[in-house]
Amino acid sequence: MYLWKYWRESRIAFVVSMLCVALFAWLVFKGVWHIGHDPGSSEGPGPAGIAKMLMVSLYLQVPVFAFLAWVMGSFGVGRDLGEGSGSYLLTRPRQRWWFLWHDWGFGFVQLVWAIVLINLLIGYLVHRLLGAGGNPFGGSVMLRDMASPVLLAEIMGLNCLIIMLFAGLIFGITYFSTIAVKHARGVMLGAGIILGYLILGALIHHYWPAIELPNLIMRAFQTSPVSNEPVSLSDQLGLSLAIRAAVMLLFPVAAQVVLERSDI
């Protein structure tokens, strides 16, 4: 029943996000097609064009899901505390962490659903394009200079993970901020933290070029400066994913610590 409450709060945002997904899919189909399309050919984009499409579609998802995760982070216990219904909610016989992790879990599942759906759409589109081109690489995509075919499923899976970790991080920061501020206005603090991190990264990069803060978007593939070197998965990709997942989970855990110690 509690999940129903979260759904009741967030359903408009979720429906809007699904509309965004549909719009995004349409944009991918119409706009990104043109980016990858070889004007001299009637058969659709070539291998390099498809790689470009995938790259653009990945980065186009970032602002969409950043915004969605930011909005979704405003629902749940923090909002209840701000609206004055916190004492009502937290006198229902459940532990505080129970409310918090149900909020976070359900919100994250909604994000994951949207992310998977959008990437399935993109994957399906690329799959059709590969098929239209005779599928010369057996379901793989050439990421660079015909040297290193990578399975489409692998690319799409990693894209999903990258966006999930990114959106989960934004969602977690925003959710934590609403708990810390005890108000849905915490979304502004969340946005401030994220912007602050980006500005800090830019300043550090400017004054100390040798130091680089981790990018909010993980790089799954690495390329070498030598153009014919094959594209490969980034070094220690598993470790990197695990660290980013841990950082993502750090914020709901911090929110739990704050909530457990708060006077309501």
Partner 1 sequence: MSELVVETRSLVKHFTGLGQKPVTAVDGLNMRIERGSIYGFVGRNGAGKTTTIRMLAGLNAPTSGSARVLGLDPQRERMGILERTGFVIDRTMMPYMTGHELVRFNRGFFPRWSSEMAKRYADALEIPMDRKFKKLSHGNKTKLSLLLALAQSPELLVLDEPTAGLDPVVNDQLLRVLVEDFANDGRTILMSSHHLSEVERVADWVGIIDHGKLLLEARLDDIRANYRRVRAFGQALPERGPEIVTVSATEGVFDYVLSAGAEGFAASLRGQGATILDVTPMNLSEIFLVLVGKETHVPVEVLA
State the minimum distance, in angstroms, from the CB of residue 235 to partner 1.
45
Q: How buried is residue 259: exposed, middle or buried, by Cβ count under 10 Å (0-12/13-18/19+)?
A: buried
Q: Which residue has the tokens 């070889």?
A: 38
Q: φ, ψ for residue 237 (rounded to 5)? A: -60, -40
The correct pick among 34, 92, 128, 219 for binding partner 1 (CB under 8 A) is 92
Q: Which is nearer to partner 1, 4 or 124 (CB)?
A: 4
- Give bridge partners of residue 150 from the DSSP assignment: 141
- Span near partner 1 by CB under 8 A; candidates 40-48, 87-95, 138-146, 154-162: 87-95
Taking each helix axis from N to C end, the angle separating 47-72 and 96-132, rounded to the nearest 10 degrees, works out to 160
Residue 8 within binding range of partner 1, rule CB under 8 A: yes
Residue 7 within binding range of partner 1, rule CB under 8 A: no
Residue 103 within binding range of partner 1, rule CB under 8 A: no
Binding residues with partner 1: total (CB under 8 A): 22
Residue 85 within binding range of partner 1, rule CB under 8 A: yes
The two three-digit tokens of residue 231, written as one number: 């594209």
Q: Which is nearer to partner 1, 84 or 134 (CB)?
A: 84
State the minimum distance, in angstroms, from the CB of residue 107 to partner 1.
16
Residue 118's identity, in one-letter code, is I
The correct pick among 26, 34, 43, 94 for binding partner 1 (CB under 8 A) is 94
Residue 226 within binding range of partner 1, rule CB under 8 A: no
Q: CA-CA distances (angstroms) from residue 12 to 62, 71, 110, 153, 174?
A: 21, 11, 12, 31, 18
Among candidate residues 14, 17, 10, 16, the one with its CA nearest the CA of residue 76:
10
The correct pick among 83, 199, 236, 246 for binding partner 1 (CB under 8 A) is 83
**Residues of the shown chain interacting with partner 1 in the complex, contacts defined by CB under 8 A:** 1-2, 4-5, 8-9, 80, 83-95, 263-264
